[in-house]
Amino acid sequence: MNVSATAKKVLHIGKYFPPHVGGMETYLLNLMHALAALSIIPFALVHQSKTSLTSVEESFSANGSALRVVRAATWCHLLFTPISPGFPLLLHRLIKRDQPDLLHLHLPNPSAFWALALPSARRLPWVIHWQSDVRTQRSHWLLKLAYRIYSPFESALLKKADKVIVSSPPYLATSQPLANISDKCAIIPLGIDDRFGDQTRNDSAVVPSSADKTRAKTAGNLNVLAIGRMTHYKGFDILLRAIAQTEGITLDLVGHGELTQSLERLKDSLNLSARVRFHGLLDDNAKDKLLSRCDCLCLPSTDRTESFGMVLLEAMSAAKACVVSDVEGSGMSWLVEDGETGLVTPTNDVDCLIDALCRLRDDPALVIRLGLKGRQKFLTTLTIDASAKAIQDLYHHLPSPR
């Protein structure tokens, strides 16, 4: 694809980039691909996800164009934050060399604060992509303390930004940092590629083989899939306790994190070894196979740190029913409409989660109906192309560089 000489050039400033595993990293990669198809020229400055003293520049092919990604050296990590002393110099050099028309800052990311100190960056229009608040009610006390230092810089970024993108209306309505700048906020849902394509037309993503078809359409059995980082706000302990009080329900748990060992101990203490399988980190192909085989996906998160739930998009694209918790301010129950594309249960409520899972177990037709409606919603509003087109329109309404 030949890119017009007048195409907008956009410098994305992110935290990490694939192959680092994470919903926001995957979204940034997919967004850059989709923007390139819309005659936008995207490139990115991120951090090395592992400790390194060397910065690198890489190039990825996209729609006949090259996507350039610079990974700044990360000397160490502090409170899950990469410490990269060379980041401001790299940012200045990229602006000088490539002359972007605007900066697209993906937050939270303390390194984005360097844009405040660079005259070359301040002359450009800014778009902030507000992925999540830093502090929530359940944040660790050390993070709450660090936020006192972080907050003034965050406020300065928001004040300088021309537009702020938020992924759902509930998150905007409950975000304290965004309360005073709601007039410059735009709701643009995240999106992903449609990896399952036409498979779902014949329900093959719901029931991919004759053996699975028999099981899926027979009441009394349910194969649940849960995907995410093994951390406090995901609520996987609640899911394990719910599974333990049911019959005919199995669970595949995908992901890794600081709570992996404690969750495995909980599984053993609940005598769930025969019905719960831990898979660790998986690549997309292996994860998609599990998505194709499962009956539903469950995301029982307990805190609005779960701002959106990218894995829900993957499940909806595969025509899978979703079970989520009704966390105030999270986009989960906005994505998953109760009784339409999935089931929504109260947060931290094991009994209600049991009821939801058993309802799906005992009503295979409901499982398929919810999944197909979820895919319909995905195709209508939640693809990466829809997200990129809305962002392209937002770009074209920004002021020119000063």
Letter for the amino acid at 239? L
> Angle CA(38)–CA(382)–CA(160) in degrees, nearest 5?
65
pLDDT at site 202: 43
pLDDT reading at 26 higher than 60 = yes
Residues 12-29: b if buried by 16+ CB within 10 A, e if exposed: bbbbbbeebeebbbbbbb
Residues 36-51: b if buried by 16+ CB within 10 A, e if exposed: bbbbbbbbbbbbbbee
pLDDT per residue over 263-299, tens digit each? 999 999 999 999 999 999 998 899 999 999 999 999 9
Contact at 8 Å (CB) between 57 and 51? no
Question: In the chain, what is the greatest distance between 2 CA atoms, to the nearest angstrom?
Answer: 65
Residue 399: band (very low, low, confident or very high) from pLDDT cuts 50, 70, 90: confident
| Distance (Å, whole) CA 261 – CA 353 | 23
pLDDT per residue over 376-396, tens digit each? 999 999 999 999 999 999 999
Crossing angle between the packed helical segments 23-37 and 384-395, to the nearest 10 degrees: 70
> Angle CA(174)–CA(170)–CA(165) in degrees, nearest 5?
90
pLDDT at site 327: 93
| Distance (Å, whole) CA 368 – CA 382 | 20
DSSP label of 74: -
Q: Which residues contact 82 (CB under 8 A, 6 or more apart)?
A: 15, 16, 47, 48, 49, 72, 74, 111
pTM of the predicted protein model: 0.88
Cα–chain-centroid distance for residue 134? 15
* Count of H-run helices and E-run strands, the chain: 15, 16
pLDDT reading at 137 higher than 70 = no
pLDDT reading at 5 higher than 60 = no
Neighbours of 93 (CB within 10 A): 14
pLDDT reading at 61 higher than 50 = yes
| Distance (Å, whole) CA 125 – CA 401 | 6
E-only strand ranges, 274-397 = 276-280, 296-299, 321-325, 342-345
Closest CA to 195 of 296, 129, 286, 280: 286
Q: What are phi and psi of 314, to 5 degrees?
A: -60, -45
Least confident of 140-149, 211-220, 318-327: 211-220
pLDDT reading at 204 higher than 60 = no
Sign of the Cα torsion 338, 341, 345, 346 reads: negative
pLDDT reading at 357 higher than 60 = yes
pLDDT at site 206: 42
pLDDT at site 154: 96
Q: What are phi and psi of 226, to 5 degrees?
A: -130, 135
Residue 198: band (very low, low, confident or very high) from pLDDT cuts 50, 70, 90: low
Crossing angle between the packed helical segments 310-317 and 284-293, to the nearest 10 degrees: 60
Average pLDDT over all residues of the chain? 90
Closest CA to 344 of 294, 308, 300, 379: 300
| Distance (Å, whole) CA 22 – CA 80 | 13
DSSP label of 401: P
pLDDT reading at 213 higher than 60 = no
| Distance (Å, whole) CA 69 – CA 132 | 23
Q: Which residues contact 354 (CB under 8 A, 6 or more apart)?
A: 242, 245, 246
